[in-house]
């Protein structure tokens, strides 16, 4: 990953990498259309794929006390996938506008089930230990450098309750890695993502491709680990 290469300009490039992402999302509307990047027509397909994948690790296999939605945006995944399963939710995003819209408008009655909102960059967030049955990261792992993603996964592992799982759902490159300089997202090949996960000391439980998306869209995969 060229972002993580340590040379004289490394610190500047590192800060620029995260600054570009923050700057990009300032112009993204707090709506389902904004969260889906103008692909709102596939939102329900995406949510149904996530619901089915979560069932493999849901009631009877892992607890349903509490989940954490990382990079939650306005709460599209929380509302469509997580709230119906878990007694309570905690939600994290770096954009205050998204969290405010989630709480005040989008979540409706589900807002009463939110124990905490975290206004944090994921690379800086230290989750409480032994707290979550599921930690969900959708379209947010791509915004971390390899090293920061590995470090976050190590911290996340410590925050799982017994039989808890971490689920990453993200774009995966067909080959190698691709950096988008506009929103500072890194699309990694599935094997590269697996290597980061295993280097972080996690065991991969299941891997599944999201079906039903148009061919023009970068492949999206779901990975469960603990």
The label of the residue with tokens 């699309």 reads 187
- Provide CB contacts within 8 A for 200, sequence distance 6+: 149, 150, 151, 153, 154, 157
- Six-digit token pair at 208? 């599944």
Handedness of CA 30, 36, 39, 44 (dihedral sign): negative
**Please, what sign has the CA dihedral across residues 180, 185, 188, 192?**
positive
* β-pairing verdict for 114-119 and 88-93: parallel
Let me know: does 212 contact 49? Beta carbons within 8 Å: yes
- How many angstroms separate the CA atoms of 199 and 73, rounded? 28
Q: Check the annotation: does 76 bind a ligand.
A: yes
Integer Cα distance of 200 and 58 in angstroms: 24
Is 123 marked as binding a ligand? yes
Per the CB < 8 A criterion, the answer to whether 68 and 132 are in contact is yes
Report whether 52 belongs to an annotated binding site: no
| Contact assessment for residue 65 and residue 161, using Cβ atoms and an 8 Å cutoff | yes
Binding residues for S-adenosyl-L-methionine: 71, 76, 122-123, 138
Binding residues: 71, 76, 122-123, 138
């Amino acid at each position: 990953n060229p972002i993580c290469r340590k040379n004289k300009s490394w610190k500047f490039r590192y800060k620029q990498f995260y600054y570009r992402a923050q700057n990009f999302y300032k112009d993204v509307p707090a709506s389902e259309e904004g969260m889906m990047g103008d692909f709102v027509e596939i939102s329900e397909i995406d949510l149904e794929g996530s619901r089915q994948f979560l069932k493999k690790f849901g009631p009877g296999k892992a607890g349903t006390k509490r989940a954490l939605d990382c990079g939650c945006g306005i709460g599209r995944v929380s509302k469509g996938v997580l709230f119906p399963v878990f007694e309570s939710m905690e939600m994290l995003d770096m954009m205050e506008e998204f969290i405010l819209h989630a709480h005040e408008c989008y979540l409706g009655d589900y807002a009463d089930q939110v124990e905490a909102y975290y206004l944090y960059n994921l690379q800086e967030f230290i989750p409480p230990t032994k707290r979550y049955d599921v930690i969900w990261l959708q379209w947010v792992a791509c915004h971390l450098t390899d090293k920061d993603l590995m470090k976050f996964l190590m911290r996340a592992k410590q925050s799982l309750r017994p039989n808890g799982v971490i689920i990453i759902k993200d774009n995966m490159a067909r080959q190698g890695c691709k950096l988008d300089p506009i929103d500072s997202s890194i699309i990694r090949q599935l094997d590269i993502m697996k290597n980061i996960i295993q280097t972080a000391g996690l065991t991969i439980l299941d891997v599944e491709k999201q079906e039903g998306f148009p061919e023009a869209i970068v492949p999206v995969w779901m990975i469960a680990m603990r």
